[in-house]
Structure 1
Amino acid sequence: MSNPEIRELEAFLALAEELHFGRAGERLYLSQSRISQLLRALESRIGGRLVDRTSRRVRLTPLGEQLHVGLRPAFDAIVATIDAVRDTARGLGGVLRVGFQGTANDLFLRAVTAFRDGHPDCAAEIVEIPLSDPFGAVHRGEVDAAVVLMPVLDDALVLGPVFSARPLTLAVSARHPYARRPAVDAEELASGPLIGIAGAAPEYWRLVQAPAVTPGGRAIPAGPAVSSLQEGLALVRAGRGAMLLCDPTADYYGSHAVAFVPVTGLPESSLALVWHRNHETARIRGFARALADVTGDAGAAG
């Protein structure tokens, strides 16, 4: 029996994870018929059916499940090794695109500078990504990695250095009753609308940035949902609601029209570097080490 070709393995992995011939083809920029052809070739080499296909669904056979479980980590390791060797051969050259949400804080910018200093052959570019879609740019390959607000509960993403843990503040209009308060308890969030985040962000993530209930279980009225930080602050200035923000963002966007009041009783907000598990490169690992060095996250510097 001849050994499978790399394209056959790629097609099988895409199909095993999408369970749809059309989506698997889109993922690899191939037609559905080409995916079917590659699958048949692989099944012929193996000597058994890997996929059951009906008019309504696609599912793996037990043989397909066994192949997927064993093949995915091995395939990822091969791709990562080739990427690492290629980057070494190129002196880690090329372009690294790193996304950020809202504001590029000082630690992030220091890491970018450190990476550029350590890898002069690699151009590091920073790109603002929508507040409403923290992970989409990484999944679509528009950026190589991104600094996003926690939490991150996406198995397809690698969680790199976690940093900048800071208390939350409540952004309110300067005319708001809380504007001159030294602090606000989390239970007091139930007294007025809280501006939320619209778009493609997963619900678990949106509910951390704009919770629906207080820690004590009181309902928090939902205000308008926004796609960007600037849009949210404009609504705050207009008195349409309050918005939870981390301390560094409040420092950066200080304004006479908006007051930033510390909130007690909520967990701190943190940032994290993430990248796609299937697209890890030596450049990404180099930037993760630079960020870990700057932030002191030694556990993520390996």
Structure 2
Amino acid sequence: MLADELHFGRTAERLYLSQSRVSQLLRALEQRIGGQLVERTSRRVSLTPLGREFAASLRPAYAALERVVESTRQAARGVEGQLRIGFQGTANDHILKAVAAFQEEYPGCAIDVTELPLNDPFSALRRGEVDTAVVLLPVAEDDLVLGPIFSRQPQTLTVSTRHPFAGRTTVTAEDLAGTALISVAGPAPGYWRQAQAPAHTPSGTRIPPGPEVRTLQEGLSMIAANRGGMLLCRPTAEYNQRADIVHLPISGLPDSSLGLIWRRGEETPHLKAFAATLPS
């Protein structure tokens, strides 16, 4: 708190301690570390370079500790309070039905739903802005837990009405070698972006890379401009019908799936209850 306030009096008030006690605790910490963390004059308080480095390194651990304390409090209270859910793209029927079922069974717990960027499925969860997230698979993050997997859907290839494939009724995964494939830009990890826009067909033929986009709307605009095709799950394709694009069923690719994820070690009664409402 002293690193935030840079004022011994306000820090003491927030901690319900005397200023002298705050000073004692600071001296004890500096002695344990073996270096000065704070510079104090009659006019101002500032962190030393060592103090700034120490505070920056400590913040993630402190935030994680706060979340653990809060999740333990929630466990003691039961399923009430608030559950913040992030989701990628459109909140489809699976998510909306799960939210409705959860609210009906647990009226004391309010759900707050937030859309996540297409190109950044994990950061909001890591920053603590949401408690759980519904994201496109795959998920292979050491600090995140993958819970229920649901909404398995066939994929489609979406192209411009001017694209050579536009007159077809269906395409295969091998046909992707004949079109640039629009991909998702970072910061999503490489394995996740590769799954959404593979670089090779199942037989190993190279798929030409198309533009990188950050949002679905950017992707649809690129498709309409005939800059390439984009793989979408069937519900997303059906929701985004436009006169200048066509959605073609594609065979030879794995189904698209959604998964519920949360931070490792932070499974709360809210999460368990909501996970139980999702269809398998």
TM-score by length of 1: 0.71
2:251 matches 1:218: no
Q: Of 159, 164, 171, which residue of structure 1 is paired with 2:146?
A: 159
2:65 matches 1:25: no
1:242-296 Cα deviation digits (max 9, x unpaired): 00001110111112211000111111110100001133211111111111xxx1x
Which residue in 2 is equivalent to 1:135? 122
Structure 2 unmatched ranges of 5 or more? 1-28, 30-52
- Where 1:178 maps in the other structure, the secondary structure is helix
1:88 to partner: Cα distance: 4.8
Distance 1:256 1:202 in 2: 33
Q: Which AA in structure 1 matches 2:222? A: L
Contact 1:168 1:263 in 2 (8 A): yes
- Where 1:286 maps in the other structure, the secondary structure is helix
Distance 1:168 1:228 in 2: 18
Contact 2:181 2:197 in 1 (8 A): yes
Which residue in 1 is equivalent to 2:22? none
2:131 matches 1:144: yes
Q: Of 194, 211, 215, which residue of structure 2 is paired with 1:207?
A: 194
1:23 to partner: Cα distance: 5.5
Distance 2:133 2:213 in 1: 20
Structure 1 unmatched ranges of 5 or more? 1-7, 9-19, 31-74, 298-302
Which residue in 1 is equivalent to 2:7? none
Which residue in 2 is equivalent to 1:276? 263
Distance 2:57 2:266 in 1: 17
- 1:92-131 equivalent positions in 2, closer than 5 A: 92-131=79-118
Which residue in 1 is equivalent to 2:252? 265
Distance 1:198 1:85 in 2: 37
Which residue in 1 is equivalent to 2:215? 228
- Where 1:27 maps in the other structure, the secondary structure is helix
Q: Which AA in structure 2 matches 1:187? A: E
Distance 1:252 1:114 in 2: 23
Distance 1:178 1:22 in 2: 56
Distance 1:233 1:183 in 2: 19
Higher-Rg structure is: 2
1:176 to partner: Cα distance: 1.2
Give the ranges of 4+ consecutive aligned residues of structure 1 lying more than 6 Å apart after TM superposition.
Answer: none
- Where 2:265 maps in the other structure, the secondary structure is helix
1:211 to partner: Cα distance: 0.6
Contact 1:196 1:210 in 2 (8 A): yes
Distance 2:253 2:56 in 1: 40
Q: Which AA in structure 1 matches 2:160? A: S
Q: Which AA in structure 1 matches 2:248? A: V
Which residue in 1 is equivalent to 2:171? 184
Q: Of 282, 286, 289, which residue of structure 1 is paired with 2:273?
A: 286
Contact 1:83 1:281 in 2 (8 A): no
Contact 1:96 1:123 in 2 (8 A): yes
Contact 2:75 2:268 in 1 (8 A): no
1:167-225 Cα deviation digits (max 9, x unpaired): 11001011212112111111111112110001210000000000111111111111110
Q: Which AA in structure 1 matches 2:262? A: W
Task: Count how many residue pairs are aligned between Structure 1 and Structure 2.
Answer: 228
| 89-98 vs 198-207, which moves further | 89-98
Contact 2:78 2:269 in 1 (8 A): no
Distance 1:124 1:104 in 2: 13
